[in-house]
Structure 1
Amino acid sequence: MEQSAVLHRHLGVQFPLLTLSESNYLNLDDGRKILDASGGAAVGCIGWGNQRAIEAVSKQLGQSSYCATIFYSTRVQEELCRELIGSTKGHMARAYIVNSGSEAMEAAIKLARQYFLEISPPQPARTHFISRRQSYHGITLGALAVSGHEYRRANFEPLLMTNASRVSPCFEFRGKTPGETDVDYVGRLARELDEEFQRVGPEAVCAFIAEPVVGAALGCVPAVAGYFKAVKAVCDKYGALLILDEVMCGMGRTGSLHAWEQEGVVPDVQTIGKALGGGYQAVAGVLANHRVVRAIEQGTSVFVHGHTYQGSPSGCAAALEVQRIVREEGLVRNVREMGTLLGRRLNEALGGHPNVGDIRGRGLFWGIEFVADKETKEPFPVQDHVAMSLAELGLTERYCIGVYPGGGSADGVRGDHIIISPAYNVGVAEIETIVNIVARLIGDFFAAHNAN
């Protein structure tokens, strides 16, 4: 076979060609038909090959394929942003449309900084960001600097801005001590954040950044009840902003259109992506609340940021149609109903497996963390590549299922998990099929792994 000219993620792998994406299946050039149980990276929310979404993009390309946003806007961008702002029940004021989650986080960081330059009197000393360990907010340098994913950071540490620090994640499985109540655990984490503000200097902190349900870095970890109210109180105490990263967990994935709706807080800035456009175009965005937008409007009125392809007409068309489909077909309600079933069936099928340490999630966003020892929660050695090896086995003809692997959930380096995040329109039969195949896959993988 001719050598690929693509700078792939792994240059030692010959990737199969994807020839057709249809419903919840991916057809490969070698004849395999993969059940896409993760929607790629939790992207596919309405399944693949949806004609409404395809036609919306095609129609938009026939009208205008590009918009130079320094001069113009498009009707489709205006309608999408109105749809998004309307979905927040008046809490957010404006939307900014870009092409990836990393771009969205870069914009959010800069918007938070500019907010403190625009308010009266300005607070130019606020340049520091606090996030959490075992977090992932994007692969570009600014987004990576505020991330706590050790593997992704390692090669680039000398290039990353140093005005960012991290506190503990809200991770019940590994962070909560025996006998500690939820209230006590939340209180301890809130005190840790407060102490970090004081260590850095409260007048220097620009924002605290967190995912409401942690995706790739921890594997679908929801916060303990009351956590986000507590950290929002700390931010408010010191005048800092709260940035919630919903690129992976938002736009319906966890059972409400915006994950923060289940936390009883409203962020100052929110990032969205993945399920925003459902994979029909590259699109992501930033939502800003009235406080932030008012400061810019009453200040210079200019957000000093921009991308050539921001507000891409075809991206906006895809996102607008996908969001209309989600709303009109009541898919967020189905996420809640099928998510409850998926969580219950995963626990029934795998809760007793000796190498399944934890099963956690919300909506149609579930993670399974693997352990070498169930009682001590000891993770597997990094060199075993458990999550990736299991996911690769899943793609073989015996299983033909796609799950999303991740690592570092135990301590930032060790710890293996997979994510199961099917499309919002799955039914009972598909949930049963996913659980049955995943259970068989995990059983077979560890039977072989533990025998070696």
Structure 2
Amino acid sequence: MADNTAVVWTNATSSHVFHRSLTYEPLQAVRAEGHYIYLNDGRKLLDGSSGAAVSCIGHGNKRVIAAILDQLQTVDYVHSGIFGNKEAVETAIKLARQYHLENKQPERVNFIARQQSYHGNTLGALGLCSHKPRRIPYLPYFPSHFHHVSPCFAYHYKLADESDEAYVKRLADELEAKFQALGPHTVAAFFAETIVGATSGCTPAVPGYFKAMREVCDRHGVLFVLDEIMCGIGRTGKMHAWQWEDLSSPPDIQIVGKGLGGGYAALAGVLMSDKVVNAFLAGSGAFINGFTYQSHAVGCRAALEVLKVIKEDGLIEQCYQRGLFLEKLLKKQLGDHAHVGDIRHLIFVAVIVYAGTKGTVDGIHGDHILMAPPYTITEEELIFLVDTLKISIDVVFKSMHVLN
């Protein structure tokens, strides 16, 4: 940019980087090691959320760094699937569409996702999302082929006298009704996060939900797609979060990310069933899609080493045990807190839901904080994390009472 067109964004920042928020100076990390991030002002932060549920094996793992360096010295880049998170969602959308084209069903153009969902920030992924703050600026660009049904969010939407079985049936009936309204023969795929992360905070489905949704999809030849970008690759104490569910078979398409590269590489992946692969083999034999940095050698090598560390160090089982310990700590410290409405937990991802007063739920007010520690975090660090969280909550609500 020429000097006469340079822009000073605000007095709050001296950086020329266009940050998402221009009203304050972002924190500056100068080093990350183990489970800690070190700032330029001397502070040391315990990374209790693994960034955005990404750094699953901590920072500075020497095995992964050595593998990356070795790959850089061997083959750094050859254009060639491995994708970034949002690119993986876009790829899953295209994959579902082309699957039906291979099966001579071009009329299948509709996609159904869930309200209060988040699948990424590119236009296709945002089309699947129903998170209004992210969607509103771009509404004119979304095609009419994206539709939404209610989420499985028992804390807010399950009726007081409703059993889990009745709640699941109500949601399955709603999905069936949406299929019928659109025409079952026009629906390509149903997308869902196995555990909802960004928009509702660690929201697992009630037992039987995904089995029922799968049955509705199978009945009409609709692809069943699970987004495990946040919750997959071991975070729930199993390699895939859907393995906790009573499914007769894996999803037709599954999206993974975050923990796949563990923060050492920006990449994600799309997994698919034999049914999907066989449709392409019997048809055109080609998938029409591609990205510049797809299958980047360094990213793939980093992900391979992260997966080896997870497997060889027994981190999925450790994740399971640490998760039980975290649940115990949270319930002990915050279970009876006057302003904590709910503690949702699925092994090593947890959320604390704030309410104005305990027991008040209206689906609108309140907030939540998501915890997704590295799989390698120690019990002592978890104790410190939860103790500090309780102190922070108390300070915040005390200051709110003073202001009021």
| TM-score, normalising length: structure 1 | 0.85
CA contact (8 A) 1:145 1:162 kept: no
2:384 aligned with 1:433: yes
Tell me which residue corresponds to 2:246.
264
Runs of 4+ in structure 1 displaced over 3 angstroms?
none
2:62 aligned with 1:44: no
Residue 415 of structure 1, CA deviation: 4.2
| Residue identity in the other structure for 1:329 | D
Root mean square deviation, CA, Å: 1.2
Q: Contact conserved, 2:341 with 2:354, CA < 8 A, in 1?
A: yes
1:14 equivalent among 10, 20, 25: 25
- Return 423-432 or 232-241, whichever deviates more: 423-432
1:424 is aligned to 2:375: yes
Q: Which amino acid aligns with 1:444?
A: V
List runs of 5+ in structure 2 lacking aligned partners. 1-11
Correspondence 1:31 to 2:42: yes
Matches within 5 A, 1:222-261: 222-261=204-243
TM-score using structure 2 length: 0.94
In structure 2, the partner of 1:382 is: none
Alignment CA distance shift 1:356-1:2 (3 Å): closer
Aligned ranges 1:50-449 → 2 under 5 Å: 50-69=61-80, 96-98=81-83, 100-119=84-103, 122-265=104-247, 266-378=250-362, 410-411=363-364, 414-449=365-400
1:174-232 per-position Cα deviation (integer Å, ceiling 9, x unaligned)? 11111211111111111111111111111111111001111111100111011000000
Helix, strand or coil at the partner of 1:47: coil
**Counterpart amino acid of 2:175?**
L
Number of matched pairs: 390
User: Which secondary structure does the structure 1 equivalent of 2:52 belong to?
Assistant: helix
| Alpha-carbon offset, residue 148 of structure 1 | 1.4
Percent same amino acid among aligned pairs? Answer: 46
2:13, 2:24 within 8 Å by CA — same for their partners in 1?
no
Structure 1 position 263, deviation (Å): 1.0
Q: Is the 8 A contact 2:13 2:22 kept in 1?
A: no
Q: Would the aligned equivalents of 2:109 and 2:188 in 1 still touch at CA under 8 Å? A: yes
Task: For structure 1, list consecutive stretches of 5 or more residues without a partner in the other structure.
Answer: 70-95, 379-409
Q: Tell me if structure 1 keeps the 8 A contact 2:115–2:150.
A: yes
Deviations 1:236-266 (A, max 9, x none): 1111001100000101111111111111321
* Aligned residues of 1:16 and 1:30 also touching (Cα < 8 A): no
Aligned partner of residue 26 in structure 2, secondary structure: coil
Question: SS state of the match for residue 156, structure 1?
Answer: helix
CA contact (8 A) 2:57 2:374 kept: yes
Output the amino acid matched with 2:82: I
Would you say the 8 A contact 2:356–2:366 is kept in 1?
no
Which residue does 1:381 correspond to in 2?
A: none
Separation in 1, partners of 2:184, 2:167? 23
SS in 2 for 1:67: coil
SS at 2:338 equivalent: coil
Bigger relative contact order, structure 1 or 2, given CA contacts below 8 A and separation 6+? 1
Distance 1:132 1:427, change over 3 A: same
